[in-house]
């Protein structure tokens, strides 16, 4: 948990004078001697953590592959150029060879190209879904937190209403919530992003609210209040920035679950209705029919999903550990 | 849309599901290969659920599979073949002009509820169908009556033709005479349809006042169609129970059956839509047989000692162009261009089971009337592009429907067939908009003309070309949106010609006409497979997919 009172953003420079005064009042600048100490400190510790390095490498490779996939892929992912060379009705598939690095799928499409382009879809879905969850979650959680800390009686009521709604969402299993949303909206890529994103909202909301409540009892808030700083300003420029740490860590972890959930939704047929366009979950669903005869068709997308999710989880977990004040040296 | 999720555990993430499937696919079956207890229920899985216990109200193969075991029409097909033989009627005669059909019923046959099988009972069934009114007259609820006999006693819609049925007379206890107004090649085949299974007089009395409620496309069938105790026929099995939650129909051996008694004491018909799930259920010993084996699974099943008899080819799969739904599809040049774009040979080679062939016309070559001289459509993308350009449709956008989550005897993997054709069409510059429906909805949508292009097929009900081409091209209908009056007139003339040789020549000519018009593209005719556990002595397999499970027993 971030305990430093200072914000690491440019906001800090713009409002240097005021924040400095606050920081002085609380005397916490002596903690590390620097305003942005906590993040640099976390980074230093992660540099020596093998878990973090593994996670970071996986994530960097995955993001690079996804971003440059059109350059890396050899062929169009939808082209059935080798359609007359595979015979799914006789279980005759084409394995890896010089022109098709991973072989061909059941319709004679290049598996390597589909896998690479699929990475891009997966990243897109993961990032957008996480952003949806992050933005709406932060909005709701931030509002509830601010109201609870500074809003008095009415504020606590607003907080109560928001949090009960969030609790209701939290009561539903993530995937079930996502499936429900997808079923209501109809299958499409946007649906998957929205569905997975919406399912993540309550986690972000609760987390941010919790962090803000913890900050609300701190002396610098009291000090700001006593100095007559307006309440919405305290919430936005003091409490919120100091509460964002855990939420940012959560985003990394959420990316992992978002990728898995998105794959699951596509697997269930609620994803991109144009199944000829690759997405790892869809590829997995397609390959299911040929599991006993051509397991490789399922292995590639499955490994893709597992390794990517693992990468984001490792990175997120080590970031969380690095930021945890209890584990500080 | 939810159909897909219903068969997969939601709680599992995709990767875990894949691993679980690998594990279960590899798991050794733990069946006991030794002799089975005679009372052990025989469980057979079809691909879809039945829709009604009264087969008259439906036209789907799964319902007819149940009906073939428990009920009997007047005539039947020889076991494992397409020749018409006696059913509930031991033998029959027809008058020379084909308008009078005399049926001699089996002596001593009784209905499940104890009623005697009499000529009067037979006539009561036919008269009931003829006199049906209200929503029963909707094509969804009396499909085969309209296909064979046209209209009803009192037609409530102008679209219905005058009925071909002229009456039924019980000459004596076991002789019934059915009269029709004109000869038609649909008879005697029509008398063998499972839809025209004879129900007992007590059943008819009990269901007399039942009505179909609901409007077009969304009917609620009457209560008795779900009540197993309400239905009594004459088949080798009685209907004990239809559990709609479990999708299973339970049948019990009928000990007073007039023929050879059934080999199983109890038989359960289940519905398992997913072909992988059917395969796994058989391998796990949960079921003892299933229909519509995926071509790729045949080898694996045979290696593991399962029996996979292959039926003879008696079906056709086609790509339909709905001519009224899109202005371009009304243009014969465009239909020809699209047809040239499709690589049918690849579909047959890579997706269809062994023994399949590219179809040159709308019925398999095993039927009389198949013509060697029809126009052939070769795979030629360049020609397709050229023709589209000539017709001014180089930027054509078309909606293309296919059924999700289903396998049909003529269509093993709809999604794959769709993918191949869609890619072929895109290759010649046609943009394809993908539309998929769950099976029941799919048939309704395509029949009501809501799909511009769609995949569908047909398995013959009896050995007559009209059962294929007449079904589609005898009148204007929403499924095709075709308006070729000359073809319709010829169709009517040929099918009512009592001279067999002339009729067959007529069908050949009709097949040629249809391929000139090109309302759709026939894709393939293929032999569907059926699988049985090693301990089952299976029934003869039927090209009409009309297996009689009473023939089967434990080994």
Residue of B3, B14, B317 best to disrupt the A interface, most CBs of A under 10 A = B14
Closest CA to A22 of A160, A198, A223: A223
Length of chain B: 555
Q: Which residues of B touch A306 (CB under 8 A)?
A: 15
d(CA A313, CA B511): 64
Give pTM, 2 decimals: 0.81
Nearest to A86 among B4, B294, B350 (CB): B350
Q: How much is the pLDDT for B414?
A: 92
Residue of B15, B304, B415 best to disrupt the A interface, most CBs of A under 10 A = B15
- CB contact under 8 Å between B13 and A264, yes or no, is yes
Q: How much is the pLDDT for B36?
A: 66
pLDDT per residue over B112-130, tens digit each? 999 999 999 999 999 999 9
Q: What is the mean pLDDT of chain B?
A: 88
- CB contact under 8 Å between A270 and B1, yes or no, is yes
- CB contact under 8 Å between A269 and B4, yes or no, is yes
Q: How much is the pLDDT for B12?
A: 37
Homologous superfamily in CATH for domain A37-75+100-327: MetI-like (1.10.3720.10)
- CB contact under 8 Å between A183 and B294, yes or no, is no
B431-438/B520-525 β-pairing: unpaired
Report the chain A residue with the minimal C-alpha distance to residue B405.
A269
Closest CA to B324 of B430, B514, B451, B489: B451
B266-271/B315-321 β-pairing: unpaired
- CB contact under 8 Å between A302 and B18, yes or no, is yes
Where is B440: in which H helix or E strand?
Answer: helix B439-447
Three-class SS string for B325-356? CCHHHHCHHHHHHHHHHCCHHHHHHHCCCCCC
Can the peptide bond before residue A109 be classed as cis, meaning omega within 30 degrees of 0?
no
d(CA A263, CA A131): 17
Q: Which residues of A touch B425 (CB under 8 A)?
A: none
Q: Which residues of A touch B14 (CB under 8 A)?
A: 260, 263-264, 266-267, 281, 284-285, 302, 305
- CB contact under 8 Å between A268 and B10, yes or no, is yes
Q: How much is the pLDDT for B178?
A: 95
Shortest distance between the Cα of A270 and any Cα of chain B, in A, equals: 8
Find the farthest-apart pair of alpha carbons in chain A and give their distance in angstroms, rounded.
Answer: 80
The answer to whether B508 touches B271, Cβ cutoff 8 Å, is no
- CB contact under 8 Å between B419 and A293, yes or no, is no
d(CA B371, CA B251): 43
Tell me how far the alpha carbon of residue A284 is from its chain's centroid: 22
* Exposed e or buried b per residue across A59-91, where buried means at least 16 C-beta atoms within 10 angstroms of its C-beta: beebbebbeebeebbebebbbbebbeebbbbbb
Three-class SS string for B503-518? HHHHHHHHHHHHHHHC
Nearest to B2 among A79, A183, A273 (CB): A183
Beta bridge partners of B530: B291
pLDDT per residue over B502-548, tens digit each? 999 999 999 999 999 999 999 999 999 999 999 999 999 999 999 99
- CB contact under 8 Å between A269 and B350, yes or no, is no
Q: Which residues of B touch A272 (CB under 8 A)?
A: none
d(CA B16, CA B18): 5
Shortest distance between the Cα of B444 and any Cα of chain A, in A, equals: 20
Tokens of A70: 């059109």
pLDDT tens across the length of chain A (329 residues): 444 444 444 444 444 454 344 444 433 433 444 445 677 878 888 888 899 999 999 999 999 999 998 898 889 998 898 988 999 888 889 989 998 999 999 999 999 999 999 998 888 888 999 999 999 999 999 999 999 888 888 989 999 999 999 999 888 887 888 888 888 887 788 888 888 898 899 999 999 999 898 888 888 888 988 888 888 888 888 888 888 888 888 888 888 888 888 888 888 878 776 766 788 888 888 888 888 888 989 999 999 999 999 999 999 888 888 877 665 54
Shortest distance between the Cα of B394 and any Cα of chain A, in A, equals: 20
- CB contact under 8 Å between B13 and A263, yes or no, is yes
Q: B interface toward A at CB cutoff 8 Å?
A: 1-2, 4-5, 8, 10-15, 17-19, 21-22, 25-26, 275-276, 294-296, 299-300, 343, 346, 349-354, 404, 412-413, 415-416, 419-420, 422-423, 434, 436
- pLDDT above 70 as % of chain A: 86
Which stretches of B467-555 are DSSP H helices?
471-473, 485-495, 500-517
pLDDT per residue over B316-372, tens digit each? 999 999 999 999 999 999 999 999 999 999 999 999 999 999 999 999 998 889 999
Q: How much is the pLDDT for A325?
A: 66
Q: How much is the pLDDT for A284?
A: 87
Q: How much is the pLDDT for A275?
A: 67
Q: Which residues of A touch B12 (CB under 8 A)?
A: 264
- CB contact under 8 Å between A305 and B14, yes or no, is yes
d(CA B507, CA B465): 7
- CB contact under 8 Å between A263 and B8, yes or no, is no
- CB contact under 8 Å between A295 and B22, yes or no, is yes
Distances (CA, A) of B484 to A217, A298, B336, B495, B517: 84, 49, 17, 17, 8
Shortest distance between the Cα of A222 and any Cα of chain B, in A, equals: 47
Q: Which residues of A touch B351 (CB under 8 A)?
A: 88-89
B84-86/B42-46 β-pairing: unpaired
CB pairs under 8 A between A and B: 121
Q: How much is the pLDDT for B9?
A: 38
Only one residue has tokens 């860590």, namely: A249
pLDDT per residue over B455-492, tens digit each? 999 999 988 899 999 989 988 888 999 999 999 999 99
Neighbours of A12 (CB within 10 A): 17
Only one residue has tokens 């009209």, namely: B466
- CB contact under 8 Å between B15 and A87, yes or no, is no
- pLDDT above 70 as % of chain B: 93
The answer to whether A263 touches A287, Cβ cutoff 8 Å, is no
Q: How much is the pLDDT for B32?
A: 44
Q: How much is the pLDDT for B15?
A: 44
pLDDT per residue over A220-257, tens digit each? 888 988 888 888 888 888 888 888 888 888 888 888 88
- CB contact under 8 Å between A173 and B11, yes or no, is yes
Nearest to A80 among B1, B415, B423 (CB): B423
Tell me how far the alpha carbon of residue B101 is from its chain's centroid: 26
Tell me how far the alpha carbon of residue B26 is from its chain's centroid: 34
- pLDDT above 90 as % of chain A: 31
d(CA B64, CA B378): 37
Report the chain A residue with the minimal C-alpha distance to residue B434.
A274
Tokens of B100: 């009078």
The answer to whether B365 touches B525, Cβ cutoff 8 Å, is yes
Shortest distance between the Cα of A87 and any Cα of chain B, in A, equals: 4
The answer to whether B109 touches B173, Cβ cutoff 8 Å, is no
Report the SS3 class of residue B24.
Answer: helix
Neighbours of B300 (CB within 10 A): 18
Closest CA to B288 of B28, B40, B47, B26: B40
d(CA B115, CA A159): 74
The answer to whether B249 touches B239, Cβ cutoff 8 Å, is yes
Q: Is the pLDDT of residue B216 over 80?
A: no
- CB contact under 8 Å between A268 and B19, yes or no, is no
- CB contact under 8 Å between A291 and B2, yes or no, is no
- CB contact under 8 Å between B14 and A267, yes or no, is yes
Q: How much is the pLDDT for A29?
A: 38
Q: How much is the pLDDT for A36?
A: 58
d(CA B224, CA B211): 10
- CB contact under 8 Å between A292 and B18, yes or no, is no
d(CA A115, CA B211): 55
Report the SS3 class of residue B462.
Answer: coil
Residue of A75, A289, A306, A309 best to disrupt the B interface, most CBs of B under 10 A = A289
Shortest distance between the Cα of A307 and any Cα of chain B, in A, equals: 11
Q: Which residues of A touch B1 (CB under 8 A)?
A: 183, 186-187, 269-270
Length of chain A: 329
Domain regions of chain A by residue span? 37-75+100-327
B520-525/B175-180 β-pairing: unpaired
Q: Which residues of B touch A302 (CB under 8 A)?
A: 14-15, 18-19
Report the chain A residue with the minimal C-alpha distance to residue B344.
A84
pLDDT per residue over A274-304, tens digit each? 766 788 888 888 888 888 888 989 999 999 9
Shortest distance between the Cα of A281 and any Cα of chain B, in A, equals: 7
Report the SS3 class of residue B476.
Answer: coil
- The single-letter DSSP state of residue B408 is B
The answer to whether A291 touches B18, Cβ cutoff 8 Å, is yes
Report the chain A residue with the minimal C-alpha distance to residue B427.
A79
Shortest distance between the Cα of A290 and any Cα of chain B, in A, equals: 8
Residue of A77, A89, A109 best to disrupt the B interface, most CBs of B under 10 A = A89
């Amino acid at each position: 948990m971030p305990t430093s009172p200072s914000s690491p953003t440019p906001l800090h420079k713009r409002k240097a004078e005021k924040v400095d005064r606050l920081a002085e009042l609380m005397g916490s600048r002596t903690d590390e001697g620097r305003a942005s100490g906590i993040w640099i400190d976390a980074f230093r510790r992660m540099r020596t953590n093998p878990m973090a390095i593994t996670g970071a490498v996986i994530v960097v490779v995955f993001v690079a592959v996804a971003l440059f996939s059109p350059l890396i892929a050899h062929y169009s992912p939808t082209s059935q150029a080798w359609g007359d060379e595979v015979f799914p009705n006789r279980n005759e598939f084409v394995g890896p060879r010089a022109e098709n690095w991973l072989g061909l799928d059941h319709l004679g499409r290049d598996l390597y190209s589909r896998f690479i382009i699929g990475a891009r879809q997966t990243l897109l879905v993961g990032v957008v879904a996480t952003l949806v969850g992050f933005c709406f979650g932060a909005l709701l959680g931030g509002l509830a937190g601010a109201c609870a800390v500074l809003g008095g009686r009415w504020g606590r009521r607003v907080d109560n209403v928001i949090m009960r709604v969030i609790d209701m969402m939290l009561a539903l299993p993530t995937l079930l919530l996502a499936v429900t949303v997808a079923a209501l909206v109809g299958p499409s890529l946007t649906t998957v992003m929205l569905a997975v994103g919406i399912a993540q909202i309550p986690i972000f909301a609760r987390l941010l609210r919790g962090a803000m409540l913890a900050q609300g009892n701190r002396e610098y808030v009291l000090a700001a209040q006593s100095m007559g700083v307006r309440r919405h300003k305290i919430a936005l420029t003091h409490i919120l920035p100091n509460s964002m740490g855990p939420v940012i860590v959560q985003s990394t972890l959420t990316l992992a679950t978002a990728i898995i959930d998105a794959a699951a939704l596509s697997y269930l047929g609620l994803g991109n209705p144009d199944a000829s366009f690759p997405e790892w979950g869809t590829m997995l669903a397609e390959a299911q029919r040929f599991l006993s005869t051509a397991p490789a068709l399922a292995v590639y997308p499955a490994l893709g999903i597992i390794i990517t999710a693992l990468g984001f989880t490792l990175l997120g977990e080590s970031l969380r550990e690095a930021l945890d004040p209890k584990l500080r040296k | 849309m939810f159909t897909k999720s219903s068969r997969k555990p939601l709680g599992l993430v995709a990767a875990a599901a894949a691993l679980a499937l690998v594990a279960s696919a590899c798991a050794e079956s733990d069946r006991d290969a030794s002799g089975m207890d005679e009372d052990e229920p025989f469980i057979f899985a079809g691909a879809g659920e039945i829709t009604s216990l009264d087969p008259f109200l439906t036209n789907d193969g799964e319902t007819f599979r149940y009906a073939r075991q428990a009920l009997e029409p007047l005539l039947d097909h020889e076991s494992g073949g397409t020749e018409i033989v006696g059913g509930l009627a031991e033998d029959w005669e027809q008058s020379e002009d084909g308008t009078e059909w005399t049926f001699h019923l089996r002596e001593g046959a009784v209905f499940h509820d104890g009623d005697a099988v009499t000529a009067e009972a037979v006539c009561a069934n036919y008269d009931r169908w003829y006199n049906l009114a209200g929503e029963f007259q909707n094509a969804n609820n009396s499909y085969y009556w309209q296909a064979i006999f046209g209209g009803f006693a009192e037609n409530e819609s102008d679209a219905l033709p005058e009925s071909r049925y002229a009456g039924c007379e019980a000459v004596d206890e076991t002789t019934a005479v059915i009269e029709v107004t004109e000869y038609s090649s649909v008879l005697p085949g029509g008398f063998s349809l499972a839809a025209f299974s004879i129900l007992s007089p007590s059943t008819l009395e009990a269901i007399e006042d039942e009505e179909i409620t609901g409007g077009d496309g969304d009917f609620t069938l009457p209560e008795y169609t779900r009540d197993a105790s309400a239905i009594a026929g004459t088949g080798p099995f009685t209907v004990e129970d239809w559990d709609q939650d479990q999708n299973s129909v339970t049948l019990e051996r009928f000990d007073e059956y007039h023929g050879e008694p059934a080999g199983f004491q109890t038989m359960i018909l289940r519905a398992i839509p997913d072909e992988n799930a059917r395969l796994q259920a058989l391998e796990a010993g949960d079921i003892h047989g299933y229909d519509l084996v995926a071509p790729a699974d045949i080898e694996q099943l045979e290696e593991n000692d399962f029996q996979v008899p292959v039926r003879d080819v008696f079906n056709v799969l086609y790509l339909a162009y709905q001519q009224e739904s899109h202005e371009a599809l009304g243009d014969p040049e465009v239909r020809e261009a699209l047809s040239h774009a499709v690589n049918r040979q690849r579909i047959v080679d890579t997706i269809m089971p062994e023994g399949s062939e590219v179809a040159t016309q709308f019925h398999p070559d095993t039927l009389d009337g198949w013509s060697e001289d029809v126009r052939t459509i070769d795979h030629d993308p360049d020609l397709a592009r050229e023709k589209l350009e000539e017709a001014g449709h180089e930027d054509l956008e078309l909606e293309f429907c296919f059924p999700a989550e289903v396998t049909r005897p003529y269509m093993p993997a709809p999604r794959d067939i769709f993918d191949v054709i869609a890619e072929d069409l895109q290759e010649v510059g046609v943009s394809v908009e993908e539309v998929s429906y769950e099976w029941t909805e799919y048939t309704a949508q395509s029949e009501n003309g809501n799909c511009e292009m769609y995949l569908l097929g047909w398995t013959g009900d009896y050995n007559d070309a009209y059962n294929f081409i007449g079904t589609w091209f005898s009148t204007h209908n929403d499924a095709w949106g075709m308006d070729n009056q000359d073809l319709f007139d010829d169709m009517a003339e040929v099918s009512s010609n009592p001279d067999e040789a002339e009729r067959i020549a007529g069908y050949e000519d009709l097949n040629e006409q249809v391929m000139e018009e090109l309302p759709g593209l026939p894709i393939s005719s293929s032999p569907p497979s059926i699988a049985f556990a090693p301990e089952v002595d299976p029934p003869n397999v039927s090209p009409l997919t009309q297996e009689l499970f009473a023939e089967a027993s434990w080994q």
